[in-house]
Amino acid sequence: TVSDPLNSNGDPHAGAPEERVELRKKVTLLRGISIIIGTIIGAGIFISPKGILKNSGSVGMSLVVWIACGILSLFGALSYAELGTCIKKSGGHYTYILEAFGPQVAFVRLWVDMIAIRPAGLAVIALAFGRYILEPIFMPCGVPEIAIKLATTIGITMVMYLNSMSVSWTARIQIFLTFSKLLAMAIIIVPGLYQLFKGETKNFENAFEVNTIDLTGLPLAFYSGMYAYAGWFYLNFVTEEVENPERTVPLAICISMVIVMICYTLTNVAYYTVMSAEELLASNAVAVTFAEKLMGNFSFAVPVFVALSCFGSMNGCLFAISRMFYVASREGQLPEVLSMIHIRRHTPLPAVIVLYPITLLILFLGDIYSLLNFMSFLRWLFIGVAVVGLIYLRYTRPDMPRPFKVPIFIPAVFSFTCFFMVFLSLYSDPINTGIGFAISLTGIPAYFIFIHFERKPKWFQKLSGQRLHKCKWETSEYAQKFLSSYTLIIHIMMPDMPSSF
Domains by residue range for the chain, with CATH? 24-493 (1.20.1740.10)
Please name which of 268, 259, 354 lies closest in space to residue 60, comparing C-alpha atoms.
Answer: 268
At 53 the three-state DSSP class reads: helix
Would you list the DSSP string of 238-305?
Answer: GGGGBSSHHHHHHHHHHHHHHHHHHHHHHHHHHHHHH--HHHHHH-SSHHHHHHHHHHGGGGGHHHHH
| Residue 58: per-residue pLDDT | 83
| Residue 132: per-residue pLDDT | 82
**β-sheet bridge partners, residue 342:** 2
d(CA 37, CA 253): 9
| Residue 9: per-residue pLDDT | 41
Q: Are 158 and 133 contacting, i.e. CB atoms less than 8 angstroms apart?
A: no
Please name which of 115, 23, 11 lies closest in space to residue 475, comparing C-alpha atoms.
Answer: 11
| Residue 311: per-residue pLDDT | 92
Give the DSSP H or E segment for 3.
Answer: strand 2-3
N-term to C-term CA, the chain: 16
d(CA 113, CA 94): 9
Please name which of 336, 332, 333 lies closest in space to residue 3, comparing C-alpha atoms.
Answer: 336
| Residue 348: per-residue pLDDT | 86
Burial of 358 (0-12, 13-18, 19+ CB in 10 A): middle
d(CA 405, CA 82): 5
Residue 197 DSSP symbol: H
Please name which of 392, 486, 489, 374 lies closest in space to residue 434, comparing C-alpha atoms.
Answer: 374
| Residue 380: per-residue pLDDT | 82
| Residue 384: per-residue pLDDT | 93
| Residue 21: per-residue pLDDT | 58
d(CA 50, CA 20): 50
Give the DSSP H or E segment for 2.
Answer: strand 2-3
Using CA atoms, how far residue 192 sits from 186, 195, 272, 308, in Å, is 9, 5, 8, 21
Exposure class string for 468-477: b at 16+ Cβ within 10 A, else e: eeeebbebbe
- How many C-beta atoms surround the C-beta of residue 276 within 10 A? 12
H-type alpha helices, 346-468 = 349-353, 356-362, 368-396, 409-428, 430-441, 443-447, 458-464
| Residue 493: per-residue pLDDT | 41
Please name which of 32, 72, 34 lies closest in space to residue 380, comparing C-alpha atoms.
Answer: 72
d(CA 394, CA 383): 17
| Residue 152: per-residue pLDDT | 92
Please name which of 403, 23, 35 lies closest in space to residue 241, comparing C-alpha atoms.
Answer: 23
pLDDT in tens for each of the 501 residues of the chain?
Answer: 444 444 444 443 444 444 565 667 778 899 899 999 988 987 668 766 777 888 887 888 888 888 999 999 999 999 999 999 999 888 889 999 999 999 999 999 899 888 878 887 888 888 888 888 887 888 777 788 889 889 999 999 999 999 988 888 888 899 999 998 898 889 889 988 998 888 888 888 777 776 555 666 777 788 778 878 888 999 999 988 888 888 999 999 999 999 999 999 899 999 988 888 888 888 877 877 888 888 777 777 777 888 888 899 899 999 889 999 999 988 888 888 888 887 777 788 888 888 888 888 878 765 555 655 566 677 888 899 999 999 999 999 999 999 999 999 999 999 998 898 788 777 777 887 787 788 788 888 888 887 766 555 565 555 555 433 333 333 344 444 544 554 444 444 444 433 333
pTM of the model: 0.81
| Residue 61: per-residue pLDDT | 87
